Amino acid sequence: MKSIFSLTTMFLAGVGLTTANPVPAPQADTTAPGPYHISGFFASKAHLSSYCRFEFNVSAPSLPDPVTCSAYLDTGFSGATWLAYVYEGAGNCNSGAVTWTFWHPRGAETDRNDAVFNVTVDGEKGTYIVPKEDIIVNLNDVNNPFDNDVFYGGPREFDIVEFPAE
C-alpha cells in the first residue's frame, strides 16, 4: 500500500508542475495554414532580353499585413520560351516570414509545360500549379530566334490551397 501511495503522490506532483508552467497553444496539425491569397501576380520576360521580372503580393492568415515579393532573374537567353527559374533564396520579399520559388520547365513553344509556384509562409509551403495555357509565348519575329516574349497571362489574383506534407 505504501508504495502505491508514493506513486500517486509523485503523479499528482507531476500534474501540478505541468499546469503551473505556461502551456504552448496546441498546434493545428490537421488544419491547412492557408489559403495564401496572391494578388497582382506578374511574370514576364521582355523581348530581346533574357531577364524575367516577377512581382506579387501575398496575404495569409499568419501574416499581419500583405507581403510584397519580387525577383529579377536570367532565363539564360533572350530566345527562351520559358520563364526564369526562381530557386529557393532567389526571390525577395519585404518580410522574412515568406520565401518562394517558381519553376517553369524548359520546353519549345509548341511543347510547353505547367509551372510550379511555391510560397512558404512561416515554414508552411503552399503549392500552386500554373497551367501551361496561362504562360504565353510570342515568337515576335520568325527571322529572329532571340526576339521572344514570355509572360504570365492568367488571373492575377488567386488562392494557394495545396499544402503538400513533407
Ligand X SMILES: *[C@@H]1O[C@H](CO)[C@@H](O)[C@H](O)[C@H]1NC(C)=O
CA distances from 164 to 10, 68, 160 (A): 43, 23, 11
Residue of 61, 67, 60, 68 whose CA lies nearest to 37: 60
> Per CB under 6 A, which region of 3-11, 26-34, 49-57, 76-84 contacts ligand X?
49-57
**Choice from 57, 81, 99, 148 touching ligand X (CB under 6 A):** 57
Residue of 27, 60, 30, 24 whose CA lies nearest to 165: 30
Contact string 105-144 vs ligand X (x = CB under 6 A): -----------x-x--------x-----------------
Task: Count the residues of the shown chain that bind ligand X, applying the rule CB under 6 A.
Answer: 15
Name residue 24's amino acid. Answer: P
**Residue 42 touching ligand X (CB under 6 A):** yes
**Residue 68 touching ligand X (CB under 6 A):** yes
Question: Looking at beta carbons only, is 146 or 163 nearer to ligand X?
Answer: 163
